Amino acid sequence: MMTVGSQVKTCYASIKNIEATLGILANQTNEVDARNAYRETQEMITEIKNDLEKQVLTLAREEPQYNQ
Amino acid sequence: MPDWIQIIIRAFSLLIILFFFTKWLGMKQLSQLNIFEYITGIVLGGIVAIHVSTLDSPIHFALISMFIWFIFPYLVELISLKSKAFRNFTQGKSRVVIQNGKIMEDNLKKEHYSTDDLLESLRERNIFKVADVEFAVLEPTGKLNVLPKRENRPITAKDLALKLAPDREPQTVIMDGKPLLEPLANISLNPTWLETELEKMNVSIENVFLGQVDSDGQLTVDLYDDTLAVPSPSQKPLLLATMNKCQADLELFGLATNNEMSKQMYQRNSEKLQKAIDYISPYLR
């Protein structure tokens, strides 16, 4: 069974994936508008990622069985 | 000199002259020519036809008459470019035949345009009811241009207040199995990038008939072998799907947790992610 900790961790990984993909798209496009949009979204996602990272650490501490 | 050699020489030289004259007279299409340009073209062709096959007339007669029929329309066109009044005189003016949904009978009469002609031209534009027309202009070339009433015009993204991402023209980067370096450089990509993308699609460049890159750097290809399936670009739809999934997950976590602080954190971030999705989704479609 997936514990809450592992679920949050999966979500955290997906968020990191989104962040990286946005970075790739921003580099691929040669449209200035699109590049700025991708970069701005990437920044928003980074904020979410930082929040989630803290949560992942907290949960890891609260669910010791998950660390084993 | 035998006659047949003369005819060959005349045909070739006049053909070449005619080619350059028509080139210098401009790039207009036949349907865009006004009556004067149309007649000029026919006369030029006629002069060539007569002098190629009639050996009694000396060749310089052909050159003189062709030159006059070339230089006159050429000058007329040159002056027309500079002067609006002269242009109105030589090319004619467009005339309004329907305004505010009402037919201007006098203008129709001036152009010798019958009601049947008007209805026919409207039908060509798929308009069968005059009441659907807001405005119509009869151009000097005889073409009728129609502005339908607002409610009869096709819906655009603007009407729906849709936000669309701007895009540029796609670049053709592979033709007949060979990479085109100049278009690639235009979008600041290199052949190595192309190789990697093709490798990802699992196709070799020799098998690609046509390959294009859109302004977002996505490659689409058409293969010689039409039985092979080519993956369509999936990066952007996949990203949007992942974002939506994460947003739903965060919302779920927020509902599931009992910890008030965590609940707030999840809710805040789920809202933030929703905002990011709304913002970026026009670019990902």
Domain ranges within chain A, ordered by starting residue: 4-62
Position B230 scores a pLDDT of 81
Enumerate the residues of chain B whose CB falls inside 8 A of the CB of residue A47: 272
Domains B95-152 and B171-229 share a fold: yes
Tell which residue, B201, B173, B209, has the closest CA to residue B188.
B173
User: Given an 8 Å threshold on Cβ–Cβ distance, is B253 in contact with A8?
Assistant: yes
Highest mean pLDDT: which range of B3-7, B138-142, B264-268 = B264-268
Position B141 scores a pLDDT of 76
Where residue B112 falls (left for φ over 0; alpha for ψ -120 to 50; beta otherwise) is: left
CATH for B171-229, options being 3.40.50.300, 3.30.240.20, 3.50.30.30, 3.40.640.10 = 3.30.240.20
Position B73 scores a pLDDT of 85
A34, B215 Cβ separation under 8 angstroms: yes
For chain A, counts of helices (H) and of strands (E): 3, 0
Check residues B280 and B1 and name the one with the higher pLDDT: B280
Position A1 scores a pLDDT of 54
Query: In the predicted model, what is the mean pLDDT of chain A?
Result: 85
Position A67 scores a pLDDT of 47
Indicate if the pLDDT at residue A66 is higher than 70. Answer: no
B80, B90 Cβ separation under 8 angstroms: yes
Q: If you average pLDDT over residues B135-161, what whole number do you get? A: 89
Band (B29; pLDDT cuts 50, 70, 90): low
B239 CA: distance to closest CA in chain A (Å): 6
Indicate if the pLDDT at residue A12 is higher than 70. Answer: yes
Pick from A7, A18, A31: CB nearest B239: A18
- Per-residue pLDDT of B241-256, as tens digits, reads 999 999 999 999 999 8
Indicate if the pLDDT at residue B159 is higher than 60. Answer: yes
Enumerate the residues of chain B whose CB falls inside 8 A of the CB of residue A40: 279
CATH for B95-152, options being 3.40.50.1820, 3.90.1150.10, 3.40.50.720, 3.30.240.20 = 3.30.240.20
User: Given an 8 Å threshold on Cβ–Cβ distance, is B245 in contact with A31?
Assistant: no
Indicate if the pLDDT at residue A29 is higher than 90. Answer: no
B88, B95 Cβ separation under 8 angstroms: no
Q: If you average pLDDT over residues B165-171, what whole number do you get? A: 83
Position B53 scores a pLDDT of 83
Indicate if the pLDDT at residue B13 is higher than 80. Answer: yes
- Per-residue pLDDT of B73-99, as tens digits, reads 888 888 988 999 888 887 778 899 999
Pick from A31, A51, A58: CB nearest B167: A31
| Interface contacts (A, B; CB < 8 Å) | 88
Q: Using an 8 Å CB-CB cutoff, list residues of chain A that contact chain B.
A: 4, 7-8, 10-11, 14-15, 17-18, 21-22, 24-25, 28-31, 33-34, 37-38, 40-41, 44-45, 47-48, 51-52, 55, 58
Alpha-carbon span B247 to B22, nearest angstrom: 64
Q: Where are the domains of chain B?
A: 3-89, 95-152, 171-229, 236-284
Position B28 scores a pLDDT of 67
